[in-house]
Structure 1
Amino acid sequence: MSDEPEQNAGEQGGRLAEKLERLLRMTAPAGQKAPSNEEVATAINIAAGEKTISATYVWQLRTGRKTNPTMRHLEALAHYCGVNAAYFLSDEESAKVDEQLALLDALKDSDAQNIALRSTGLSESSRQAVSNMIDQLRKLEGLVDTDAPRDQPEKPRRP
């Protein structure tokens, strides 16, 4: 007898737990840690006007101990985090949402937000110059390249 279905269920539950934990961390307000299981359950139940989910069940989902939640639970968790329930069901959808949340997280930094806001109204060439300057500063400070889209591919350096 093969144990493949059990492994597959564990894999699915692990991915669900990862996605839920990442989403809860990323949607927490700036400077705050991810909400507790009790906070999540309470907020969901208040929004629903009835007992929809328990703190224990949220914990079980976050830790991968429960791997097959109902659509009602997924929708409630997604609504709490402000995303579509497809986030939990599709790796493609969760990757898109994670990318957007990472951008929003970066913009929580007041200096980054200030730079972004001040670039509004600049010409395309001026915005490109600012982008190039930021790239150079990141290199000087030994920071890894970001995957930010560029209008033009970076030219290789000459020796």
Structure 2
Amino acid sequence: MSSSQPDDNRGDAPAARKFGERLRTLIASAYPDERKRPGYARLAKEIREKTGGTISGTYLWELATEKKSNVTLEQLDVLAQFFGVPPAYFFDDQVTETVNSQLALLTALRDAQVQGMALRAIGLSQKSLKSINEMIERVRELEGLPDEDRHQTGNRNPHQT
């Protein structure tokens, strides 16, 4: 098996687990409200409508639940196109980490309060942004939350580019 192709060995549980986890992460990011999240048949229909690619609901379920990991390159491309990620997302840990940090940011920005805070920070000086960031880090510590900034972006100051 070359490193540029996805694993198509059904017996390789770690590959199936990684692929399934990554697919479920993408589904949850695209449909954050579980009550409105489509079933696999409906999701397959949406994928076909958006990409023109063919994939069945049953096959999506098998991939997501780690029953199968033998995805074809064509199906990999269809899934990547639908979810707006590079195909390497499914088998390259570094790409997965980068994309997941971007997805986490997008998910956070869907929260109206987080969005409001971000919008209100526009125009503040670097000194003020640093102070706000330090306060947020302190509150996260008090609430026992992980340091998402370091974990997700590898950058202590998210306001730097």
TM-score by length of 2: 0.78
Counterpart contact for 1:16–1:64, Cα < 8 Å:
yes
Identity of aligned residues (%): 35
- Corresponding position of 1:138: 140
> How many angstroms apart in 1 are the aligned matches of 2:79 and 2:10?
25
Whichever of the two has the greater Rg, that structure is 1
| Preserved contact between residue 10 and residue 70 of structure 2 (Cα < 8 Å) | no
CA positional deviation for 1:32 = 5.1
Structure 1 24/124 Cα, relative in aligned 2: closer, same or farther at 3 Å? same
Alignment partner of 1:87 is 2:89: yes
- 2:156 corresponds to 1:150: yes
AA aligned to 1:21 is: R
Could you report, residue by residue, the CA deviation over 1:62-83 in whole angstroms, capped at 9, with x for unpaired residues?
1111211101111111111111
Structure-2 change in CA distance of 1:138 and 1:63 (3 Å) = closer
Q: Please, what is the CA RMSD of the aligned residues?
A: 2.2
Contact 2:10 2:68 in 1 (8 A): no
Per-residue displacement from partner, 1:24-71 (whole Å, max 9, x unpaired)? 112215575543211221012223446x11111111111111211101
Aligned 1:1-159 pairs, distance under 5 A: 9-29=12-32, 34-49=37-52, 52-140=54-142, 142-148=143-149, 149-151=155-157
Separation in 1 of the partners of 2:31 and 2:103? 11
Between 98-107 and 131-140, report the one with greater CA deviation.
Answer: 131-140
- Which structure has more relative contact order (CA 8 Å, sep 6+)? It is 2
Gaps of 5+ in 1: 1-5, 152-159
2:12 aligned counterpart, secondary structure: helix
User: 1:60, 1:30 → 2: CA distance?
Assistant: 22
Specify every segment of 5 or more residues in structure 2 that has no aligned partner in the other structure, as ranges: 1-8, 150-154
Q: Which residue of 1 aligns with 2:4?
A: none
- Residue 67 to residue 145, structure 1, CA distance change in 2 (3 Å): closer
**Alignment partners' CA distance in 2, 1:67 and 1:34:** 23
